[in-house]
Amino acid sequence: MGLEMKGACEKCQANVDLIAYICVHECTFCENCTNDMSNICPNCSGELVKRPKPAKYMCPMSWRK
């Protein structure tokens, strides 16, 4: 298993394509669950932080020649 973009919350299986919170071990949770857990990962007790949007959502003008 390498690094991969997870598309579902580990707690409630909600889709997290747009807004996801991850810990340093890449446990992935949705916004609701993250708020419920006070931004603390239940797996590793690490802080959950908002994941940057995937590169595919960046403006195409920034890389297209």
What residues make contact with Zn ion under the rule CB under 5 A?
Answer: 9, 11-12, 14, 23, 25, 27, 30, 33, 41, 43-44, 46
- How many residues appear in the chain? 65
> Which residues in 18-49 are b (16+ Cβ under 10 Å) and which e?
eebbbbeeebbbbbebbeeeeeebeeeeeebe
Q: 5 or 12: whose CB is closer to Zn ion?
A: 12
Q: 44 or 58: whose CB is closer to Zn ion?
A: 44
Residue 63 CB, shortest distance to Zn ion, in Å, is 32
Q: 23 or 65: whose CB is closer to Zn ion?
A: 23
Reading the block at residue 16, the tokens are 């997290």
